[in-house]
């Protein structure tokens, strides 16, 4: 299983856009996998920095580089998937990295269940210097229904899933993009929340199963500059992405939309907290509660913690960080208060 072969079992798709600071760590984490029957498809999405120079230091013949004009994350993933040859496709964002056992454990997981379409794992958060932040994403692992995907997005982030290629072939659709005929999986019209739309589309339209591995096998980089992005834009992008699946599933949306939106608002509140915007965080928590108060009933601890942290974020940044660090040490590995999917 561990000897490199010409035919890849897993295709690792890595979209890249100006990630010269991170790409070496990303690639080394793949080359260090205990499971070695893979190919690496790096999609240069119009990089203008030294990303490709950094990538060219690697001589491994399993690495392929595909160059395209800047078209966004969804298009870069689609390009990589279309070039893939493996039985499974593993997604890895270029600023993240993996534990050495990541691919081996997903291969075993997918091999045990032919109806399992998306295998994912928990993730640990790291900072710009690869240092663990003491928190992470530990999502629901089993009994995943469409409402689970909609409300909580257990897949979590773009470096967690390994997808069966036959599922991708089933979900692929031909679109005309800028005069070009392309097979698309992720919606290239979306620049945010494209993963939310894709997972929900799978859950609503197919019988493929989602299931997680009870280990943190991905390292998700928290980019402080990205946390301060416009909250309204992020919420609007989420709305656009989920509305794409409403037609034909009106009763599902009637039942679950308000709860899903409440969780999304709470998730955005947590992002505002990390960027130090306490006022926006408080506003978002209140909006979440008014949208669907059941988030308190379903997850009282996490909702209360988010509310408390929003108040603390009003303090001077240095004091807040000291209190946050103390709280992290106190919480330790209590998964009930760590980020789970989207909320």
**CA angle in degrees (0–180, nearest 5) for 35-36-37:** 105
Within a domain: 1: no
pLDDT digits (tens, 9 = 90+) for 121-130: 999 999 999 9
Are residues 134 and 240 both part of a single domain? no
Are residues 115 and 257 both part of a single domain? no
Within a domain: 289: yes
Q: Are residues 38 and 64 in contact, defined by beta-carbon separation less than 8 angstroms?
A: no
Above 60 in pLDDT, residue 238? yes
Which one, of 165, 153, 152, 157, lies nearest residue 126 by Cα?
157
Name the domain boundary from 222, 256, 289.
222
Name the pLDDT band for 5 (thresholds 50, 70, 90).
low
Within a domain: 4: no
Domain of residue 310 covers 229-343
Domain CATH number, residue 96: 3.90.550.10
Q: How does DSSP classify residue 49? A: S
Are residues 199 and 241 both part of a single domain? no
Are residues 261 and 189 both part of a single domain? no
Span 15-24, average pLDDT? 97
Are residues 112 and 205 both part of a single domain? yes
Name the domain boundary from 193, 222, 251.
222
Q: How many domains does the chain have?
A: 2
Above 80 in pLDDT, residue 329? no
Which one, of 321, 91, 325, lies nearest residue 220 by Cα?
91
Which one, of 61, 42, 57, 88, lies nearest residue 4 by Cα?
61
Q: Are residues 96 and 219 in contact, defined by beta-carbon separation less than 8 angstroms?
A: yes
Buried residues in 130-149 as b, exposed as e (16+ CB within 10 A):
eeebbbbbbbeeeebebebb
Which one, of 102, 107, 94, 93, lies nearest residue 9 by Cα?
107
What's the rounded Cα separation, in Å, for the pair 117 and 144? 12
Are residues 158 and 240 both part of a single domain? no
Are residues 198 and 249 both part of a single domain? no
Above 60 in pLDDT, residue 182? yes
Span 112-117, average pLDDT? 97
Residues 6+ apart with CB under 8 A from 207: 115
Are residues 115 and 177 both part of a single domain? yes
Are residues 203 and 281 both part of a single domain? no
Residue 222 pLDDT? 85
Span 225-251, average pLDDT? 84
Name the domain boundary from 222, 257, 273.
222
Are residues 193 and 281 both part of a single domain? no
Within a domain: 2: no
Are residues 152 and 217 both part of a single domain? yes
Are residues 242 and 209 both part of a single domain? no
């Amino acid at each position: 299983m561990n000897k490199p072969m010409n035919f890849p079992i897993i295709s690792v798709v890595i979209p890249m856009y100006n990630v010269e600071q991170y790409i070496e760590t990303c690639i080394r984490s793949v080359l260090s996998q205990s499971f070695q029957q893979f190919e690496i498809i790096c999609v240069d999405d119009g990089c203008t920095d030294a990303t490709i120079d950094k990538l060219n230091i690697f001589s491994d013949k399993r690495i392929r580089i595909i160059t395209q004009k800047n078209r966004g994350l969804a298009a870069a993933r689609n390009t990589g998937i279309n070039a893939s040859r493996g039985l499974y496709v593993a997604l890895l964002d270029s600023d993240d990295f993996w534990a050495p056992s990541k691919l081996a454990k997903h291969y075993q997981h997918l091999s045990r269940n032919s109806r399992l379409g998306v295998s994912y794992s928990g993730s640990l958060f790291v900072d710009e210097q690869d240092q663990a932040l003491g928190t992470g994403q530990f999502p629901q692992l089993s009994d995943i229904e469409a409402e689970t995907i909609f409300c909580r997005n257990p897949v979590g982030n773009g470096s967690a899933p390994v997808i069966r290629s036959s599922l991708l072939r089933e979900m692929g659709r031909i679109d005309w993009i800028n005069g070009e005929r392309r097979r698309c999986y992720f919606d290239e019209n979306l620049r945010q929340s494209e993963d939310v739309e894709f997972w929900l589309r799978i859950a609503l339209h197919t019988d493929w199963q989602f299931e997680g591995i009870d280990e943190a096998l991905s390292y998700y980089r928290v980019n402080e500059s990205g946390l301060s992005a416009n909250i309204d834009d992020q919420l609007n992008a989420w709305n656009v992405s989920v509305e794409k699946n409403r037609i034909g599933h009106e009763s599902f949306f009637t039942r679950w939309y308000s709860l899903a939106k409440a969780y999304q608002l709470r998730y955005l509140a947590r992002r505002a907290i990390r960027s130090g915007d306490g006022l926006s965080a408080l506003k978002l928590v209140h909006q979440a509660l008014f949208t669907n108060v059941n988030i308190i009933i379903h997850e009282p601890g996490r909702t209360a913690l988010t509310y408390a942290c929003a108040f603390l974020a009003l303090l001077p940044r240095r004091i807040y960080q000291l209190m946050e660090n103390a709280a992290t040490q106190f919480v330790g590995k209590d998964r009930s208060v760590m980020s789970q999917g989207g909320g």
